[in-house]
Amino acid sequence: MIVVVDYGVGNIASVLNMLKRLGASAMASNRRSDIERAEKLILPGVGAFDAGMQTLRKSGLVDVLTEHAMDKRKPVMGICLGSQMLGMRSEEGSEPGLGWIDMDIVRFEPREHRKIPHMGWNETVAAHEHPILHGLTDLENPSRFYFVHSYYMSPRDNSNILLSANYDQVFAAAVVKDNVFGFQFHPEKSHKFGMQLFKNFVELI
């Protein structure tokens, strides 16, 4: 069972739709008992960093999520704001993040010819091989994902970078640390590429 954490922030219906199309057993829940039973967890999110962290803390789920991600090593996928919340802090606000990956969230600096937010399709490049990237690392046909963000993930250790993209600068489009994955883009809006990514997550052992 995959549980999509329903803490009131995120595009949950689209994520569930993708998982159901793959035949995966999945549900959205904010109940501790469901999170404890889950084999894998997905943390979605849209909007501002502080609001997301405050809402997650008010849900009372931070401790159980941390236990199952950090101690029990269940696979966790963070999406968009959910990926940023995996880090330490964000320039967007003052709230601390979950701290599961040693990274800060940094704002794109305004530049001539670069609109903020970064919105639309962009190609990604794999930093290294990983089972979750199966079928997505063909250099002749780079994977493309749909982005909407003004801030990006900046890991202190480059080995945590899983995918990179270029928006007038190279930035981390996806990060990984052991069983925890963060995807800055929206796989649930990324058609066949997003479907393949969800398939790989479902099949992770």
pLDDT digits (tens, 9 = 90+) for 152-204: 999 999 999 999 999 999 999 999 999 999 999 999 999 999 999 999 999 99
Which of 39, 67, 80, 91 is flagged as catalytic? 80
Number of structural domains in the chain: 1
Average pLDDT over residues 48-74: 97
pLDDT digits (tens, 9 = 90+) for 81-129: 999 999 999 999 999 999 999 999 999 998 888 999 999 999 999 999 9
pLDDT digits (tens, 9 = 90+) for 8-44: 888 799 999 999 999 999 999 999 999 999 999 999 9
Which of 68, 92, 149, 188 is flagged as catalytic? 188
pLDDT at residue 141 is higher than 80: no
In degrees and rounded to multiples of 5, residue 90 shows phi and psi of -135, 145
Q: Which amino acid is at 160?
A: N
Mean pLDDT of the chain: 95
Pairing status of strand 103-107 against strand 89-90: parallel
Active site annotation includes 80: yes
pLDDT digits (tens, 9 = 90+) for 91-100: 999 999 999 9
Which of 68, 118, 149, 186 is flagged as catalytic? 186
Report the CATH number at residue 172. 3.40.50.880
Provide the 10 A C-beta neighbour count for residue 192. Answer: 11
Task: Give the Å distances, CA to CA, from 39 to 24, 60, 102, 188.
Answer: 12, 20, 24, 20
Report the alpha-carbon distance of residue 143 to residue 123 in Å, rounded. 6
DSSP codes, 12-72? HHHHHHHHHHTT--EEEE--HHHHHH-SEEEE---S-HHHHHHHHHHTT-HHHHHIIIIIS
The answer to whether the predicted template modeling score (pTM) of the entire model surpasses 0.85 is yes
pLDDT at residue 138 is higher than 90: no
pLDDT at residue 79 is higher than 90: yes
Predicted local distance difference test score (pLDDT) of residue 139 = 61
For residues 18 and 195, is the Cβ–Cβ distance under 8 A?
yes
Pairing status of strand 180-183 against strand 170-177: antiparallel
Q: What is the residue range of 9's domain?
A: 2-203
Active site annotation includes 186: yes
